[in-house]
Structure 1
Amino acid sequence: RQKAGIYIAAWLALMMIYAAALYTNNAPIDDAVRASIANLLPDALLGLIVLRLPSFVRWSDDHRRFFAAHLGFLIAFVVAALAGWIVMIGVDSMLFMHRLAFHIPWKIIPFWAIYDILIYGSLAGIAYALQNAQELREQADRAAKAEALRARASLEAMRSQLNPHFILNTFHALVGLVRREPAIAESALERLGDLLRYSLRIQRDGIDEVPLREERAFVESYLDLERLRLGDRLNVSIETPEPTLECLVPTFALQILVENAVRHAIALRASGGFLRIRAGEADGRLRVMVLDEGNGDSTGERSEGSRIGLRLLQERLAALYGGNAKLTLRSIEGGTCADLELPARRVPEDEA
């Protein structure tokens, strides 16, 4: 509404200036006002369409297509504006001279064509500038929200790994291993250290995305520690083709989905279950799936920590990718599938 008011005020001001210019050249005031309306109203009405063009022809599109589209729109705008101008002259003559006359002043048509081109260019430039400013504001808002959510996700992941039950179960298993199998106990302690170092690095450096390779290594360390508690009840299959490992994913995204499956499907069964992690890339999209075959229900009742983790992941996807990413949880035969889909992006070579 505010933009509409500014637009109307700008055209009214231009009409007043135009009428004043005619009046100072000895035109009667009523003729000057009518002439300003007849000459400028078509451009003002057509300008409303020009201001909407960025919604249909985006600057980020192919540049040849962009300029070709605007060349077509420009020609249509000039023709329509000139036709509207001639119609307005006819309407004016009918209303005030009581005769219908569509007089075409051919000599000044080139001048008005140039004027219409300038009007089109000015309005299109303003429209794209406003669109760019709006997108920059939205990007800044999403970046700020993503930063806040990343910090929360990092803290939630650290709390998850420092969960008293998780720590106690891990150390309880380690106590028995120290005497029986010290090499395995040492490896488990290294895995625990890997988890904490990764979490602290993400928190310290403010990292929002990491290559899937790093997230996979983090999850493997987490699963190795869970095996101390679950033993042979936890069976894991990870299928991440090499090209997908360089794709960027939100930090802790995979860990949240894996933890949800382990805690609320596999760990609940005496016989355990099978956890499958798969990744694939097609048509510029990365798809990561976590499937549990524990016959539990990782889509149903969850602990408060899991609910927070999944909700934070949903919010972070919205903050980082807008509507270009999604997370769905669905029941499948014998278990549950968490399906994460997002743009397949990689670290630029100059930053790698």
Structure 2
Amino acid sequence: MTTTKSSLLSPMWRLYIAAWLGYMLVVALVNQADTLVAGQFNPHLLWRSFISLAPSAGMLALLWPLSGWFDRRAVTGARRFAIHVVAALAFATYAHTVLIVTQKPPSHPLSWHIWPFLYNVMSYAVVAGVFHVVRANAAAQRQALAAQQAQTLLVAAELGALRSKLNPHFLFNTLHSIIALTQRNPQAAETALFQFSNMLRYVLDTERAGIDRVTLDAEFDFVRDYLELESLRLGARLQVEWDLDPTLGDCLVPALTLQPLVENSIKHAFNPFTRTGLLRIESRREPDTGLLRVTVRDDGPGAAPATIAASPGLGIRTIGRRLDLDYAGRAALRIDSRPGAGFAACVTLPTTP
């Protein structure tokens, strides 16, 4: 046989009831302050005072579930105010009736009736106001948390979409290079296919494992494989200089972040020309901020900022957007280029996640 646990037995409700019982005990002790000071403490009188407080304290305690009922039923505005006015008058009337029964009115009955009645109305208003503020703050926090979770899911979805665009982009362009190589040098194309299989394994392993961050050394190894493949096609035209800080190899970077930058230089600074070109790749730790800085620089024709912004290319735009989403403004992609002065893409990102 199964049993259901009442909500009144939940930790929150137990704490809530205990708080009100504590309040009643404190008020009962205050009511018996004179006997305590005089050394004439009477437990029976204390108990009677405690029990006499139960109805009024219970009515105030019901304001918490009442405020919850308002929220669940979306009771707002004039209707909520009207219910509170009626409830406040009922509470004040009951509490004042108890006072008349238990105490004798003094010589000025009118003032004796007015001020306690207003005090009870004020007590009701204070308790109701506190409970509504608490529930409003809790609702605001839930909404903020829901909005944050929705934003996190949106960012994750967009990152996944960007990565799903980048992987086919890389595969298509690399296969296109190999196909072009088969027409001129079949033996080199065969070597390129083996090189491409290593690169494909890197892409598939990170995709299958759901790994978005890899070490900088692993990303550089992937770039080296890509450059070796391209060197089979470009030959002596492709000159590469590496200037790496060996202490940064364990830093984590988004997978497939650097290869599109190198590919961009290959496409614009090497493919259209027969001359020898220089591609320089360097990693540094910025002295002022401690950020990791990776720069891919070529000595190609460069381009004006407006031309770069209007380019339909996917790689650089995707990398910039991934960094914005993944690091929430702590990472950036900067482009430094002008006509006739080469092209430099600089990625800066934190050395810790």
1:335 aligned onto 2:342: yes
Whether the 8 Å contact between 1:286 and 1:343 is mirrored in structure 2 is: yes
Whether the 8 Å contact between 1:157 and 1:252 is mirrored in structure 2 is: no
Mapping 1:1-352, distance limit 5 Å: 16=85, 20-26=90-96, 31=118, 35=122, 39=126, 130-163=143-176, 166-172=177-183, 174-175=185-186, 178=187, 188-282=192-286, 283=289, 285-297=291-303, 307-331=313-337, 334-345=341-352
Offset at residue 217 of structure 1 (A): 1.0
Deviations 1:200-253, CA, capped at 9 Å, x for gaps:
333433332222222111111111121122222211122232332222222221
- Calculate the TM-score normalised by the size of structure 2: 0.59
Using the aligned pairs only, state the percent identity.
30
Offset at residue 31 of structure 1 (A): 4.0
> Residues 334 and 19 from structure 1, CA distance in 2 versus in 1: closer, same or farther, beyond 3 angstroms?
farther
C-alpha distance in structure 1 between counterparts of 2:228 and 2:277, whole Å? 15
Runs (5+) with no aligned partner, structure 2: 1-70, 97-112
Runs (5+) with no aligned partner, structure 1: 48-118, 179-183, 347-352
Of the two, which has the highest radius of gyration?
A: 2
Whether the 8 Å contact between 1:294 and 1:334 is mirrored in structure 2 is: yes
Specify the code of the residue in structure 1 equivalent to 2:182.
Answer: F
Count of aligned pairs between the two proteins: 258
C-alpha distance in structure 1 between counterparts of 2:82 and 2:157, whole Å? 40
Q: Tell me the SS of whatever aligns to 2:258.
A: helix
C-alpha distance in structure 1 between counterparts of 2:82 and 2:291, whole Å? 50
Q: Tell me the SS of whatever aligns to 2:273.
A: coil
Whether the 8 Å contact between 2:91 and 2:121 is mirrored in structure 1 is: no
Q: Tell me the SS of whatever aligns to 1:140.
A: helix
C-alpha distance in structure 1 between counterparts of 2:252 and 2:312, whole Å? 23
Specify the code of the residue in structure 2 equivalent to 1:151.
Answer: S
Q: Tell me the SS of whatever aligns to 2:260.
A: helix
C-alpha distance in structure 2 between counterparts of 1:209 and 1:13, whole Å? 58
Partner of 1:100: none
RMSD over aligned CA atoms reads 4.1
C-alpha distance in structure 1 between counterparts of 2:235 and 2:304, whole Å? 20
Specify the code of the residue in structure 1 equivalent to 2:328.
Answer: G
C-alpha distance in structure 2 between counterparts of 1:247 and 1:238, whole Å? 17
By relative contact order (CA 8 Å, sep 6+), the higher-ranking structure is 1
> Residues 148 and 34 from structure 1, CA distance in 2 versus in 1: closer, same or farther, beyond 3 angstroms?
same
Q: Tell me the SS of whatever aligns to 1:268.
A: coil
